Every structure is written in C-alpha cells, then in structure tokens.
C-alpha cells in the first residue's frame, strides 16, 4: 500500500514539458532583446567560437550554435583550426576576440588538441566574455554563496 501511494504521489507531481515550445519561447525572448539592443544602443550581440581539430560532435555543435545565433539576430564568429595548430595560434584568436568590441561572448570547444594546455587556454578568455564559466574567477564565484557571476554556465 505504501509503494502504491508513493507511485500515485509521483504521478501527481509529474509534468510533461513541450521542449520545442519552451525553446521557441526562449528564442523569441532572445530575438526581442537583441532587437532592443540594436535599436536602443546600436549594438548587435556577438558570439565567438573556437574549435581546434576535427571532432564531428563539436563541429555539429558549432554549426547549430551559428544557426541559432543567426535566427535570433546575434552575430556569430567562428574559428576552426586544424588539430596540429600551435597553442599560441589559439591564444592569438582568443586575445583578438577579447579585444573585439563586437564580440560579447567567447566559447572554446573542449578538449583542445592533446598537445595544448587546456587551463592556459581557458584562462586566456577574459572573464567578461567567458560564457562557459570556465575562467577560474567564474568557477570561484559559482562556488561562493552569493558570488556575483558575469555569466551563469549553461551546464551544471
């Protein structure tokens, strides 16, 4: 009897979520905000992605993010470097995006090539544009109760 009551209680709490509908609502909100920014202050939000190597899953992710950005009025910049690129090349692109006023967020796809220092690459992204929340200061702020995050990471 107790197990049955627990089952009934769980069923009463369950809610089916229409993911496509929720995603459309979020896209519509982002599109509205991007339009408002452009009209109010003449700024179009910009996102930059850096991919090193030829991982198909990461390439698909970059492609999908680019399409999503375009659909809501966000400029999308991407750099795709060969797996044998030098770490300095990646750091130069990060530095360039850090300094570029039309780029407001930077994502470096992980893991980079095995010969690269992942932490060095993540540390190079300015905290103000670290949308993944991997910069050491963002990680520390996330761990602190009441810490002020510049970006809340999209993944737990």
Enumerate the β-bridge partners of residue 5.
none
Q: Give me the torsion for CA of 137, 139, 143, 145, rounded to 10°.
A: 50
C-beta separation of 26 from 57 below 8 A:
no
Phi, psi (degrees; rounded to nearest 5) at 55: -70, 125
Name the pTM for this structure: 0.80
Residue 92 has pLDDT above 60, yes or no: yes
Which domains, and CATH codes, for the chain? 45-143 (3.40.50.10860)
Secondary structure class of 117 (helix, strand, coil) = coil
Q: What is the pLDDT of residue 108?
A: 93
pLDDT at 82 over 80: yes
Q: Which pLDDT does position 113 carry in this prediction?
A: 82
Instruction: Evaluate whether 112 touches 58 at the Cβ level (below 8 Å).
Output: no
Q: Which two tokens stand for residue 52?
A: 């090193």
The beta strand positions in the chain, using DSSP E, are: 46-52, 75-81, 105-108
For residue 132 the two structure tokens come to 């993944």
- Which pLDDT score, from 0 to 100, does residue 8 have? 56
Model pLDDT for residues 6-22, shown as the tens digit of each residue: 555 556 677 888 999 99
Residue 78 bridge partners (DSSP): 49
Mark residue 8 as left, alpha or beta (left: phi above 0; alpha: psi -120 to 50; beta: remaining): alpha
3-class state of residue 105 by DSSP: strand
- Residues 100-107, mean pLDDT to the nearest whole number: 95
pLDDT tens-digit profile of 37-57?
999 999 999 999 999 998 899
């Amino acid at each position: 009897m107790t197990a049955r009551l627990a089952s009934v209680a769980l069923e009463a709490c369950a809610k089916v979520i229409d993911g496509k509908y929720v995603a459309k609502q979020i896209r519509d909100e982002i599109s509205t905000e991007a339009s408002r920014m452009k009209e109010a202050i003449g700024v179009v939000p910009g996102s930059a992605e850096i991919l090193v190597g030829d991982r198909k899953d990461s390439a698909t992710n970059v492609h999908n993010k680019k399409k999503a950005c375009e659909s809501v009025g966000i400029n999308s910049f991407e750099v795709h470097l060969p797996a044998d690129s030098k770490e300095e090349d990646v750091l130069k692109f990060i530095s360039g995006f850090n300094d570029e006023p039309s780029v407001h967020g930077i994502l470096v796809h992980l893991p980079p090539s095995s010969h690269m220092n992942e932490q060095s690459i993540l540390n190079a992204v300015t905290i103000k544009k670290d949308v993944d929340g991997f910069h050491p200061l963002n990680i520390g702020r996330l761990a602190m109760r009441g810490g002020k995050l510049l970006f809340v990471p999209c993944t737990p």
